[in-house]
Structure 1
Amino acid sequence: MTASTTRRSTAAKTWTPRSSRTAAVAATAVAGALLLTACGDQTQNGASDKETKGAAVTSAPLADRLPQAIRDKGSIKVGSDIAYAPVEFKDKDGKTVGIDPDLAEAMSKQLGVTFEFEGATFDTLVTGLRAKRYDIAMSAMTDTKERQEGIDPETGKKVGEGVDFVDYFNAGVSIYTRKGDDKGIKTWSDLCGKKIVVQRGTVSEDLAKAESKKCADGKKPAITIESFDNDQLAQTRLRAGGADAGSSDFPVAAYTVKTSGGGKDFQMVGEQVEAAPYGIAVAKGNTQLRDAIKAAMDAIIANGEYKKILDKWGVSQGAVTEAKINGGS
């Protein structure tokens, strides 16, 4: 398996208005602070927010597995490319939905904290994790040795300390074309001299580059590769006739073929290749959080919630029987 992903912040500016009515503003600020303090310290039954949150956390069976800092804040911040249906995407109401959000919600019952998904482009997730913008990255990310070790797949050079993975699903990579117009494409070798659209930083992009080199070595025309920030942009390009084929993880390609244009836009070609585990990425050294996530995933596998979620999204063929740490190769 190559090192990319099978996939998959700008700081908000604040503005403080000026006013010549300093005393009035100061008085209002003090009053507001006192009001917020009173509201924040008390719940309806007189307990503090911190006490209430602590009680909620400890009622979950695996709450004590989490680092205390996570338990105190009551949430896990998740970096994710939320444009990769059906794994994670926005529904018509703007809500984050999909396989990963459903699994996260099931795990939250075990851990007693919420999982807060924050959108980012896929190729920035690992660096965001290293920079501590997120606690974990959960975004259909393939677990590979290169990612574990912080190795750039193209140069072979170390670019960071790497991440640990909690593996929870298996998926391969598929090719799809416009419906009724497969251009004779059945396998990756059929792409020589043709144009493919992919998401940047993914296994699909890595495979296309590797196959293009094989084309050149065999004295055939190279593959033209057009990479996009997200998979939806790649789909749009193919749909408009701007390429011969597209490639995504199998669950995403299958969902796209089934739903785009009511099933009239695309078709799958050939078999999925490079089957490998999706992993939830956790920063190196954060072993307590990593192990808590693994325990929660194992718990929902054991209690049947995991299977129900995969069945709901039609991806049960990628199910695993237990979570593994750094099982990618």
Structure 2
Amino acid sequence: MTGRLATRRAVAAIAATGLISLLAACGDQTTNEGSGKGSASPGAQAAPLADKLPQAIRDKGEIKVGSDIAYPPVEFKDGSGKVVGVDPDLADALGKQLGVKFVFENGTFDTLLTGLRSKRYDIAMSAMTDTKDRQNGVDSETGKKVGEGVDFVDYFTAGVSIYTKKGDDKGIRTWADLCGKKLVVQRGTVSEDLAKAETAKCVKAKKGKITTESFDNDQQAQTRLRAGGADAGLSDFPVAAYAAKTSGGGNDFQIVGDQVEAAPYGIAVAKSNAQLRDALLAALDAIIKNGEYEKVIAKWGVQAGAVTEAKLNGGS
């Protein structure tokens, strides 16, 4: 799960009130046929937007999705091993419109766009922030071109939050308090980029460098913080809030300070696959209008991040 700026991007305060009480766990690869990721959808004849898909995908009957399935509540495995969350439920709804199954394959977040470029996946759907760098295939750290860019079908909005061990905030109450502290983040995410940006500010102000430890997934970062190996973590607000509510029965973590860098999550599609992109855009627009989108967002308690229309490449 991403995320997640090689870069998730302003200040937005998404209220944590009412954020779900659901099953938490980690994930791996699965399909979503009513119980996992991917859409248990009717056949193409019953799907109103099936004819918008590329013929090869219609023939195959599925859309292969790259995803970091360890990012609750966006995508994760529940206690029975089923893959659940915001993204798989939205995939179900999109699949009903398009007459195909969304088959999710697990991968570390920072490899998803590479997998998309190599055609291992048809799309990447993993709480991935829509940014101009990603649209243009530019590495956000070096500014160098790393490959063909992607298009994004934007479907949600989220920012980044700071979380600490509960009752032990290490004096961190604002982003400015991160100077001199050790942070844990997920690799290849906006959280990692924001940590680097804050470090530069701290060094310039001579307030002490931020030390950052990056992990393959957010749950590894949480484990490190829980064990006392860091002062705080950075993650997308829905994920940080979910961890604060559920980890250790709500006794492990707390959110401190304000959420920042609110930006759209997007479904990434290769620029060479415009027909698939446009089909997804139409399907998203359809589920927003028919109420299925709202049901999914409400189920997971993340209404404050909902969008009201389907957009293409709305990131900055």
TM-score (norm 2): 0.87
The residue that corresponds to 1:6 in the other structure is 8
Residue 116 (structure 1) aligned with residue 103 (structure 2): yes
Q: Give the Å deviation of 1:95.
A: 1.4
Shift of 1:189: 1.6
Report SS of the residue matched to 1:276: strand
* Alpha-carbon separation, structure 2, partners of 1:324 and 1:310: 17
1:155 and 2:142 matched: yes
| DSSP 3-state at the match of 2:43 | helix
- SS of structure 2 residue aligned to 1:282: strand
Instruction: Confirm or deny that 1:165 pairs with 2:152.
Output: yes
For each residue in 1:143-196, what CA deviation from the matched residue of structure 2 results, as whole angstroms up to 9, or x when unmatched? 000000001111111111110000000000000000001111122221111100
Q: Which residue of 1 aligns with 2:53?
A: 66
Q: CA RMSD in A?
A: 1.2
CA distance in 2, matches of 1:310, 1:247: 23
Query: Distance in 1 between the 2:199 and 2:172 partners?
Result: 14
Q: Is the 8 A contact 1:6 1:248 kept in 2?
A: no
Deviates more, 1:58-67 or 1:120-129: 58-67
- SS state of the match for residue 176, structure 1? strand
Amino acid of the structure 1 residue aligned with 2:185: V
Q: Which runs of 4+ in 1 moved over 6 A?
A: none
Aligned equivalents of 2:266, 2:51: Cα separation in 1: 23
CA separation in 1, counterparts of 2:7 and 2:198? 17
- Whether the 8 Å CA contact 1:176–1:253 is kept in 2: the answer is yes
Q: 2:67 aligns with which of 72, 75, 80?
A: 80
User: Which amino acid in structure 1 is aligned with residue 297 of structure 2?
Assistant: L
**For residues 112-261 of structure 1, what are the structure 2 equivalents within 5 Å?**
112-261=99-248
Partner SS for 2:155: strand
Shift of 1:92: 1.4
Pairwise CA distance, 1:206: 0.2
Q: CA deviation at 1:323?
A: 1.0
The offset of 1:221, in angstroms, is: 1.0
- Distance in 1 (alpha carbons) for counterparts of 2:225 and 2:110: 21
Asked if the contact 1:5/1:140 (under 8 Å) is kept, the reply is no
Structure 1: which 5+ runs fail to align?
A: 8-54
Q: CA deviation at 1:3?
A: 4.3
**Structure 2: distance between partners of 1:193 and 1:104:** 42
- Report the CA distance between 1:58 and its aligned residue: 2.6
State the alpha-carbon separation in 2 of the partners of residues 63 and 173 from structure 1: 36
Q: Give the number of equivalent residue pairs.
A: 281
Larger Rg: 1
Q: Which residue of 1 aligns with 2:93?
A: 106
Larger RCO (alpha carbons 8 Å, 6+ apart): 2
Mark the runs of 5 or more structure 2 residues left unpaired by the alignment: 10-41
Give the equivalent residue in structure 1 for 2:44. Answer: 57
Relative to the length of structure 1, the TM-score reads 0.84
Which secondary structure state, in structure 2, belongs to the residue aligned with residue 64 of structure 1?
helix
The answer (yes or no) to whether the contact 1:3–1:145 under 8 Å persists in 2 is no
Residue 94 of structure 1 aligns to a residue in which SS? coil
Q: Is the 8 A contact 2:8 2:262 kept in 1?
A: no
> Deviations along 1:240-288, whole A, 9 cap, x unmatched?
1110001110000010100001101110001110000000000012110
Residue in 1 that maps onto 2:33: none
| 1:218 CA drift (Å) | 1.0
Return the offset for 1:295: 0.7
Q: Secondary structure at the match of 1:168?
A: strand
- Using the alignment, how far apart are the partners of 1:184 and 1:141 within structure 2? 31
Distance 2:281 2:83 in 1: 23
- Asked if residue 295 in structure 1 is aligned to residue 282 in structure 2, the reply is yes
Using the aligned pairs only, state the percent identity.
Answer: 78
